[in-house]
Each structure stands twice: as structure tokens, then as C-alpha cells.
């Protein structure tokens, strides 16, 4: 498994810092800046205390990582690309560190995968065999919901009476991404065990029908991600 951070990720945090830096002349301890890590990836966050009950946060999160994905016996070399930018309103019902949060994220989360090489593949309801002479390749493009995703959760962070210093935080919630979509494409040739012939997958109607069935199966398998679990930890400083 390998990880990558895109250069443009830094722009998310910078935008948040600029957004919240305007009221910096207010009471000391109102502005906090933190680095985040969790199921949304790696991030930067800035928050501002409005009063003893409410605060606001903006954050950007991003991380790409490669992994092996096995779906219906097909092994994909997959990449998950996490990219979100959001704004949150925090309610501190007891005037302390506990908070209830609502907000929304610009959602750029997506995934892709590639499968191929010699072996036996069950695609849809049929079995296909690929040997060393077949240049078979199957690609999956996975969209993880809508471009805007509401968020709701709870967490623990600064007390609204904090005068400054070390900032630690924990958030647990859900990102309502919307429906996960899957698009499968294939190229090359395979041996069709039903017809006992080698076929070109790009122009074979029955193979394309089975590919659409496999596409629906994969989309159903990934439907749990329509509601994406969020757990993040943060460490920073309150000024």
C-alpha cells in the first residue's frame, strides 16, 4: 500500500486560515489551527470561537493511496483518492469541549481500479479464461457520491473558554456522500467457457451484458460508502 499527497492540498488549509484570520484581533484564544488525520485523509483546519456556545471551522482534507481490492473474485489494483473541503458549525451545549457539529463538504472522493492478466474471471454470471496471449484489461471508475455532501457528528476539542495553547481534538460523524456509482470497461480477448470460443470483449454483445451485470454487483457491494464514516484526530495550537 502506498500513499500520496497532492501539492494542491496545501491550498485548502491556506484558504481556511485566510477565512478565519480576519477576526484575529478578538479575544486571545479565539483562533485555533490544527493538523488532522483520519478517514477523510490528512488535513488542515482552522476554527474560530464565536461565543461560549458556538464556534465555526473550515478544513481541507486530501490523501491518495494504492491498495489491492478483491471484488467477486476479481483482484483490482485500486487507488482511493480522498479530497474534501468543508465548513462546520459547532454547538457546545455545555460551554465546554464537547460539541455537536453540522455542515457540508465539497466532495471529490473517488476511486479507480485495474484488473487483468492470466487467470479465470467470473464476470456477471459467466466464466472467462485469460491466457498469456490474451491482452485482457478491465478498468473500474468509482464515483463516491455527489459533489456536495452534508455532515453531522459529535466531537471533543477546545473549550470555548480556552485562553490558548495546545489544541487536541476528536471528531466522530458521518458524511452523507450520496449514491456510489461504478463504470466498468474492458478490452482485449478472453476464452468464453459458454460458447467454447475466444472472443473480443469490446464488440461481443453477451460479454458486454455480463459486464453490466458485474458493474451492478460492484456498485451494490460499495453501497455502504453512500454514508461515509468519519473519524478524525487533530493536534494544533490556539492563539
pLDDT averaged over the chain?
87
The domain containing residue 234 runs over which residues?
2-238
**Using CB atoms within 10 A of its CB, is residue 159 exposed (0-12), middle (13-18) or buried (19+)?**
middle
**Using CB atoms within 10 A of its CB, is residue 207 exposed (0-12), middle (13-18) or buried (19+)?**
buried
Confidence at 28, pLDDT banded by 50, 70, 90: low
Minimum mean pLDDT range among 24-28, 150-154, 170-174, 204-208: 24-28
Confidence at 157, pLDDT banded by 50, 70, 90: confident
The whole-number average pLDDT for the span 93-120 is 94
Q: Specify the pLDDT at position 238.
A: 87
State how far the alpha carbon of 35 is from the alpha carbons of 61, 64, 173, in Å.
10, 17, 18
Alpha carbon 154 to chain centroid distance?
A: 19
Q: Considering its fold, how many domains does the chain have in total?
A: 1
CATH number of residue 112's parent domain: 2.40.160.170
Q: Specify the pLDDT at position 134.
A: 83
Q: What percent of the chain has pLDDT over 90?
A: 71
The whole-number average pLDDT for the span 108-135 is 92
DSSP β-ladder status, 165-176 and 126-130: unpaired
Neighbouring residues of 138: CB distance < 8 A, sequence distance ≥ 6: 74, 114, 115, 116, 121, 123, 184, 185, 186
Q: What percent of the chain has pLDDT over 70?
A: 86
Alpha-helical (H) ranges within the chain are: 9-21, 205-221
The whole-number average pLDDT for the span 173-198 is 94
- CB–CB of 73/127 below 8 Å? no
Q: In 10 A of CB 237, how many CB atoms? A: 12
Q: What span, in angstroms and rounded, lies between the C-alpha atoms of 131 and 119?
A: 7
Q: Specify the pLDDT at position 12.
A: 47
Alpha carbon 42 to chain centroid distance?
A: 11
Minimum mean pLDDT range among 15-24, 105-114, 164-173, 182-191: 15-24
Q: Specify the pLDDT at position 148.
A: 96
Q: Specify the pLDDT at position 184.
A: 96
Q: Specify the pLDDT at position 29.
A: 66
Q: What span, in angstroms and rounded, lies between the C-alpha atoms of 107 and 54?
A: 25
- CB–CB of 207/194 below 8 Å? no
Q: Specify the pLDDT at position 69.
A: 86
The whole-number average pLDDT for the span 8-28 is 46
Confidence at 19, pLDDT banded by 50, 70, 90: very low
Confidence at 161, pLDDT banded by 50, 70, 90: low
Q: In 10 A of CB 37, how many CB atoms? A: 15
Q: What angle do CA 221, 60, 181 make, to 5 degrees?
A: 20
Q: Specify the pLDDT at position 132.
A: 85
Q: What span, in angstroms and rounded, lies between the C-alpha atoms of 87 and 108?
A: 15
The whole-number average pLDDT for the span 159-183 is 87
The whole-number average pLDDT for the span 41-55 is 93
Amino acid at each position: 500500500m502506498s500513499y500520496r499527497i497532492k501539492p494542491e492540498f496545501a491550498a485548502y488549509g491556506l484558504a481556511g486560515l485566510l477565512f478565519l484570520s480576519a477576526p484575529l484581533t478578538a479575544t486571545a484564544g479565539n483562533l485555533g489551527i490544527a493538523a488532522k488525520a483520519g478517514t477523510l485523509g490528512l488535513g488542515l483546519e482552522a476554527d474560530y470561537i464565536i461565543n461560549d456556545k458556538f464556534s465555526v471551522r473550515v478544513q481541507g482534507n486530501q490523501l491518495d493511496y494504492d491498495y489491492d481490492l478483491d471484488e467477486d473474485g476479481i483482484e483490482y489494483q485500486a487507488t482511493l483518492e480522498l479530497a474534501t473541503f468543508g465548513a462546520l458549525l459547532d454547538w457546545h451545549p455545555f460551554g465546554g469541549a464537547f460539541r455537536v457539529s453540522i455542515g457540508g463538504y465539497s466532495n471529490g472522493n473517488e476511486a479507480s481500479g485495474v484488473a487483468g492478466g492470466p487467470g479465470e474471471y467470473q464476470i456477471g454470471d459467466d466464466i472467462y479464461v485469460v491466457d498469456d496471449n490474451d491482452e485482457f484489461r478491465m478498468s473500474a471508475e468509482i464515483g463516491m457520491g455527489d459533489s456536495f455532501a452534508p455532515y453531522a457528528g459529535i466531537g471533543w476539542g477546545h473549550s470555548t473558554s480556552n485562553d490558548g495553547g495546545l489544541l487536541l481534538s476528536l471528531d466522530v460523524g458521518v458524511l452523507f456522500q450520496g449514491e456510489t456509482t461504478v463504470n466498468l470497461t474492458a478490452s482485449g480477448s478472453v476464452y468464453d467457457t459458454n460458447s467454447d470460443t475466444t472472443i473480443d470483449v469490446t464488440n461481443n454483445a453477451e460479454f458486454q451484458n455480463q459486464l453490466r451485470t458485474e458493474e451492478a454487483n460492484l456498485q451494490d457491494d460499495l453501497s455502504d460508502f453512500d454514508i461515509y464514516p468519519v473519524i478524525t484526530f487533530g493536534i494544533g495550537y490556539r492563539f
